[in-house]
Chains A and B, each alone.
Chain A
Amino acid sequence: MMIPACRLADLPRGEAHRLDIDPPVSVFHTDDGELFAIDDTCTHQDASLADGWLEGCEVECPLHASKFDLRTGAVDAPPAKLPVRTHEVLVEDGMIYVRLSTEAPNLPPCIASRLAGGPA
């Protein structure tokens, strides 16, 4: 599925744009001008990676210290143990689009249980 995210001109380098879908996905524009899309929720706890610390091709969760590689989704440090999904990014006529991954997301326990209809 292709989802329009935002205009490239509206996403400066070093910034992120969150798509409020369920689960949310964020597009990151690195300082080097590359675009990446990953699941926005840290796999450890409910935190938005779009609020995090972007450095090179890595984003650090805004609450704790886990860093995710924007290229692969891999996590490098605890408390998170699972990677985030990565999504394909396309730019057409100045508009950023995201093609969502068909894999199952790795959501933190509190969110996973809410989506499963269990206790929050």
Chain B
Amino acid sequence: MRTVAVVGASLAGLSAARSLRKRGYDGRLVVIGDEPHRPYDRPPLSKEFLAGTLGEADLALERDDEDLQAEWVLGTRATGLDRTERAIRLADGREMRADGVVIATGAAARTLPGTEGLAGVHVLRTLDDARALRDDLARGGRLVVIGGGFIGAEVASTAYALGLDVTVVEAAPTPLAGPLGEVMGGIVSALHTDHGVRLLCGVGVKGLSGGERSETGVPPDGVRGRVDAVLLEDGRSIPADTVVVGVGARPCVEWLEGSGVALDNGVKCGADGRTSLAGVVAVGDCANWYDPHAGIHRRVEHWTGALERPDAAVATLLAYGATQPGVPRPPYFWSDQYGVKIQFVGHAAGADSVTVEEGAPDERSFLAVYRRAGTPVAVLGMNQPRLFTRWRKQFTAARP
């Protein structure tokens, strides 16, 4: 293998590039990224970066003394993969031939239809998104966050600390019920109301108001003025100076249509990241990996997955698919909201019980274990890092 192209220059792409070198690959290594930036860390974008306590230099993922001997092709996106030539087509017209391809194109924030060109409306996924949102939050005033998931909750928490008046709107009856289950989702999302942040649940968003009214929708110059309210399905109108849309992300795999790489909720992969095309593996948020424990494919959008899983995929790539997949650690994620550390490992779906083992939910300091038929399947900690680590270790070791 003489040329490997890593498509995607965020954590998963960087982890794959590091793994290639660590495993002795000494050929040509090309890393392609659609953003103009070198790899940077996203978790602080909704927290310390937005709050102004971390700057852009602090977000860099590469160490100062690090040199992967890679060619960085940044600021241009991949638009296609030619299976016969094994070539990646780029938006700027170039083609990059490669013997091995690592797909790490991640996911893009979902937007609300009809909000294009409306000033004051943000999603939060990239550094450029975070810069724009930070500038708007500095204006103060009223922030409405659409979506009570982790990104929405972290933005609400950060904006509250910056002194804004914050409302969170969540379509489901309980925020975070998907990842944490109803009971724990309720306990964690109660952090909002603890701090006087309004939480409106079980109501959908009909649209946004503000800007220029136009018969034809978006004016020719694309600028419509500023948002002034969020309109709810039940007829309420919530005044807003700034709106953040935090309603999840979709895998960036359009560029692979027709390439022969099987797609199904992202890139469909084996338990070692292999795709339906030989010499092509997928990692990170765009990859729908097979989970041998559950017997299903799962797309895991966690930072630790983007860090840890590329090594298995790279091993597969370098061995031409002749490796035995290792067992990845169970998925782990964290969140920081209102000064409370939230940690979670495993899968809550399918649990038939949740028990608080230590501490007290009322004090926002506890550890809860999710079980199915008596066997732990997930652990949640609030402000219990030491205890959580012990449980996570036991839980990981006990996996069949």
- Interface residues of chain A, those whose CB is within 8 Å of chain B, are 47-48, 50-53, 62-65, 77-79, 81, 109-110, 113, 119-120
- Interface residues as binary, B11-48 with A (CB distance below 8 Å gives 1, 0 otherwise): 10010000000000000000000000000010100001
Chain B residues within an 8 Å CB radius of A65: 303-304, 307-308, 332
- Give which listed residue, B63, B303, B304, contacts A81 with CB less than 8 A: B63
CA distance A3 to B64 in the complex (A): 34
CA distance A79 to B43 in the complex (A): 10
- Interface residues as binary, B311-350 with A (CB distance below 8 Å gives 1, 0 otherwise): 0000000000000000000001010000001010000000
- Give which listed residue, B53, B308, B388, B393, contacts A110 with CB less than 8 A: B53
* Additional A-B contact list (18), CB under 8 Å, known A63-B385, A79-B41: A47-B385, A48-B385, A50-B386, A52-B389, A53-B389, A53-B392, A62-B385, A63-B334, A63-B341, A63-B343, A64-B334, A78-B307, A79-B43, A81-B62, A81-B63, A109-B48, A109-B54, A113-B53
Q: Quick check: A51 and B53 within 8 Å, CB to CB?
A: no
- Give which listed residue, B41, B54, B61, B388, contacts A62 with CB less than 8 A: B388
Chain B residues within an 8 Å CB radius of A81: 60, 62-64
- Asked whether B58 is an interface residue with its Cβ less than 8 Å from the other chain, the reply is yes
CA distance A120 to B339 in the complex (A): 14
Chain A residues within an 8 Å CB radius of B53: 109-110, 113, 119-120
CA distance A79 to B53 in the complex (A): 16
23 contacts between A and B (CB under 8 A): A47-B385, A51-B385, A51-B386, A53-B389, A53-B392, A62-B385, A62-B388, A63-B341, A63-B343, A64-B303, A65-B303, A65-B307, A78-B11, A78-B14, A78-B41, A79-B43, A79-B61, A81-B60, A81-B62, A109-B48, A109-B53, A109-B58, A120-B53
Q: Is the interface of A mostly helix, strand, loop or mixed?
A: loop
Chain A residues within an 8 Å CB radius of B307: 65, 77-78
Q: Quick check: B11 and A53 within 8 Å, CB to CB?
A: no
Interface size on B, residues (CB 8 A): 27
Q: Which of A48, A62, A120 has the most CB of B within 10 A?
A: A62
Chain B residues within an 8 Å CB radius of A78: 11, 14, 41, 61, 307
CA distance A91 to B291 in the complex (A): 47
Q: Which of B60-75 contact A (CB under 8 A)?
A: 60-64
Q: Which of B11, B62, B386 has the most CB of A within 10 A?
A: B386
Chain A residues within an 8 Å CB radius of B62: 81
- Interface residues as binary, B382-397 with A (CB distance below 8 Å gives 1, 0 otherwise): 0001101100110000
CA distance A24 to B307 in the complex (A): 28
CA distance A48 to B392 in the complex (A): 16
Chain B residues within an 8 Å CB radius of A110: 48, 53
Q: Quick check: A62 and B389 within 8 Å, CB to CB?
A: yes
CA distance A65 to B388 in the complex (A): 14
Chain A residues within an 8 Å CB radius of B43: 64, 79
B62 nearest in chain A by CB position: A81
Chain A residues within an 8 Å CB radius of B63: 81
A60 nearest in chain B by CB position: B389
Q: Quick check: A53 and B393 within 8 Å, CB to CB?
A: yes
CA distance A87 to B11 in the complex (A): 32
CA distance A52 to B387 in the complex (A): 10
Q: How far is the CB of B330 from chain A (nearest CB, A)?
A: 13
Chain A residues within an 8 Å CB radius of B60: 81
CA distance A110 to B49 in the complex (A): 12
- Interface residues as binary, B55-93 with A (CB distance below 8 Å gives 1, 0 otherwise): 000101111100000000000000000000000000000
A80 nearest in chain B by CB position: B63
- Give which listed residue, A51, A77, A79, contacts B389 with CB less than 8 A: A51
Chain A residues within an 8 Å CB radius of B11: 78
B61 nearest in chain A by CB position: A78
Chain A residues within an 8 Å CB radius of B58: 109
